[in-house]
Structure 1
């Protein structure tokens, strides 16, 4: 197994990040990170959080970038100044970037700030207010000892919170079909990944978010891009691959710990997902 320059799969070690400047603060309800990174070498960016992540590209030059969402737009894309990336809560996102450098502001947005409204994954999205606020914060945040700069940062943050709620937090007052909210998604992800060896029946998962099975199946597929059973299987196999790569437990123990009824069932499912049986996958990691 080679360390080819491909988008991070959640298993291989992530590449290092060459950070030139980094300023981080809590402004109101928002977590804000203003950063500049060198991208001479292929660089991994990845998120899967219980809050929304919004990234505003402010400058630099990228020669290539591949991105993948678990649900959302994926493929090659190059950001321009002012482009916005939106990574919804409980959505897996990974990107591999290379070029000269990147200047950006990253916002951690609590799901409650948007009244728990579902948020769609986006790339190259334009939001001029968000762009202007990010650019202003990029200039203000290095001035950590300047009282006026801190006051101005909080004024920008207050205005940005109101903008995010009105722009992205409103629900359709008469939804035709219930969608999984951001907190619903987090609850399901925590339940599945927290107990990979549990049965995770459709009825139990639906009850977790207060839905009937029929409505839940469609809502789950809309939120995660796969059926509930496919998601459970993917989560089990991803954890099994991680344990094979980094751990020393016997293959049989890993199979049982990740919810497979037998080593043979595990081996078949693993080979179908990763192209090699578990034993060869582990040998390649050594």
Structure 2
């Protein structure tokens, strides 16, 4: 995920002389979060390249979308602002709100893992002032964490994934009138998902995966990206890290054993990749959840 000040929604709010950034952090895995206060303002978010989930923490009763002045916010109300959509907001009085910024790649992984659908055929449905007590409780738990403390930031990242999973399962629908071109056949995509999950502990290659679809490596890579929303190597790494996180949270095997179970060549390779993705070592991740 780009630096926070390159995220369009973050940057638009940060540019306001009335808005105050209380907290912000990259949470790894294409996720970032921020806690804002604002008063008597107007903000426009124009076709951002990322998704934004928002929860009103306090006040907000004078906040509305310019096209819908009769609908007003309130504490615990949620807004879903998908990538590519424009929204225009008026803030009368004060508001305190939390944002969770989500990359398109992380959204794609959720569609594949939770919905067994191609990300390009799915869309996050826009919502304004949604009532969802479970999500609101997660947001409140999220902002109570100290994002500057490494262990708590890892717990915040895990909670952010729970928020995203809930949104994918409840706020995602099919794109209407979409004609898919290219990509893998549905049965090929499902077979690949099953094969990759069953062989995460092995050194899978692009050629091996392409052979299973009877395609050249070049055409396979293009069609895989069309169907999965990200390149094969990035998808494979995400699945390896997902398994590693589960093993670190729930089990007690040595880090070297976790590395081998997830297909990393060595404990040092595993640690480097883990740190690049999550901003902490596997040992620090395990310690955070044990604490």
Tell me the TM-score range normalised by the shorter chain. Answer: 0.3 to 0.5
Q: Structure 1 length normalisation: TM-score? A: 0.46
Q: Structure 2 length normalisation: TM-score? A: 0.45
Which structure shows the bigger proportion of residues in helix conformation? 2
